[in-house]
Amino acid sequence: MSKPITIAFSPCPNDTFIFDALVNGKIDTGGQQFEVVLEDVQTLNEWALEGRYPISKISYGVWPQVKHQYRLLDAGGALGFGVGPLLIAREPIALEDIHLKRIALPGRNTTAHLLFSLAFPDAQNKDFGIFHEIEEAVLSGKADAGVIIHENRFTYEAKGLVKLLDLGAYWESKLQCPVPLGGIIIRKDLPAAMDEQLNQWIRSSIQYSWSNYPELSSFVKNHAQEMSEEVMRKHINLYVNEYSLSLGETGKKAVSVLEATYERIAAA
């Protein structure tokens, strides 16, 4: 494996923390090199639908649509309890009225949209944008409420916004499993034997980053320029966990539950 392999993931601190050592030559990969593409997760979802890159981060919300051309890796993803998206607004709104409101969402193919649809199946007035635009859409009045993910869960209160519902907690209480947020996929035209090698490298990369924590590398900090280091660490502490090392049986069950939930919602 001497030819560089392209790997696409987001510039969010959890992804750059996970992949830093792998893509920047800090661990032994037997000479294998990687070309990195950084983009927001909804764009990554759209590219995965096209089959554009051989290895990519995606929202689990799009996994049912791409699994015919990709395999799911065991390592590198974001999944867990207490990590789900939040529904926020400028002021309290009764949950039974949400279906009447304009909702800003971070991408049609995101897990956030899937979880919102599970909680509010009758809501139809949706605006889809990039995740870091959601708070401003709500603050400006362009949307009545919005679903936030990533670091925005650490910043919305300081901006005067209020939480209406923790969509992750709703998922957990209803389906009794952790929330599958994002996973790493590998295109099926690559040899299946690569999967376990990549899993091992990703685990080594995560362990390397943890071994130097709480120090943050320039790779992490440079791609999170508008974030304080405190928020970067909160982000990493929440989203990089035991499921990032391996889905395990609990994680695999959660992905299966998500697939079934997607099919049920799509058929409704």
Write the DSSP symbol of residue 247: -
3-state secondary structure of 177: coil
| Residue set of the binding site for substrate | 57-59, 111-112
Give me the mean pLDDT over the 195-217 stretch.
97
% pLDDT > 90, the chain: 90
Instruction: Return the closest-CA partner of residue 57 out of 27, 14, 28.
Output: 14
Structure tokens at 4: 């560089």
What pLDDT sits at residue 97?
Answer: 97
Q: How far apart are CA 161 and CA 196, in angstroms?
A: 43
Q: How far apart are CA 46 and CA 190, in angstroms?
A: 20
Q: Find where tokens 């990709």 sit.
A: 70
Residues of the chain with CATH 3.40.190.10: 5-80+179-267, 86-175
What pLDDT sits at residue 20?
Answer: 98
CATH class (in words) of the domain with range 86-175:
alpha beta
What pLDDT sits at residue 181?
Answer: 94
* pLDDT for residue 226 is more than 80: no
Residue 256: HSE in the Cβ half-sphere, 13 Å Cα cutoff: 8
Q: How far apart are CA 102 and CA 215, in angstroms?
A: 41
At residue 22 the predicted structure's pLDDT band, cuts being 50, 70 and 90, is: very high
At residue 243 the predicted structure's pLDDT band, cuts being 50, 70 and 90, is: very high
3-state secondary structure of 99: helix
| Residue set of the binding site | 57-59, 111-112
Active site residues: 150
- What are the φ and ψ backbone dihedral angles of 92, each rounded to 5 degrees? -55, 140
* pLDDT for residue 215 is more than 70: yes
Q: Across all residues in the chain, what is the average pLDDT? A: 95
Homologous superfamily in CATH for domain 5-80+179-267: Periplasmic binding protein-like II (3.40.190.10)
Q: How far apart are CA 35 and CA 8, in angstroms?
A: 8
Distance (Å) of CA 222 to CA 20, 202, 225, 228: 12, 21, 6, 11
At residue 32 the predicted structure's pLDDT band, cuts being 50, 70 and 90, is: very high
Q: How far apart are CA 76 and CA 202, in angstroms?
A: 6
What pLDDT sits at residue 137?
Answer: 96
> CB neighbours (10 Å) of residue 109?
23
What pLDDT sits at residue 150?
Answer: 81
Give me the mean pLDDT over the 201-210 stretch.
98
Q: Is the dihedral of CA 43, 44, 47, 52 positive or negative?
A: positive
* pLDDT for residue 1 is more than 60: no
User: Is this prediction's pTM over 0.75?
Assistant: yes
User: In this predicted model, what pLDDT tens digit does every residue of 99-158 receive, in sequence order?
Assistant: 999 999 998 999 999 999 999 999 999 999 988 889 999 999 999 999 999 888 888 999
Q: What is the helix (H) or strand (E) element at residue 104, kind and residue range? A: strand 103-105
What pLDDT sits at residue 45?
Answer: 95
Q: How far apart are CA 233 and CA 213, in angstroms?
A: 9
* pLDDT for residue 206 is more than 80: yes
Instruction: Return the closest-CA partner of residue 34 out of 20, 48, 45.
Output: 20
Q: How far apart are CA 133 and CA 6, in angstroms?
A: 28
Give me the mean pLDDT over the 224-229 stretch.
85
Instruction: Return the closest-CA partner of residue 20 out of 7, 30, 5.
Output: 7
Give me the mean pLDDT over the 190-214 stretch.
97
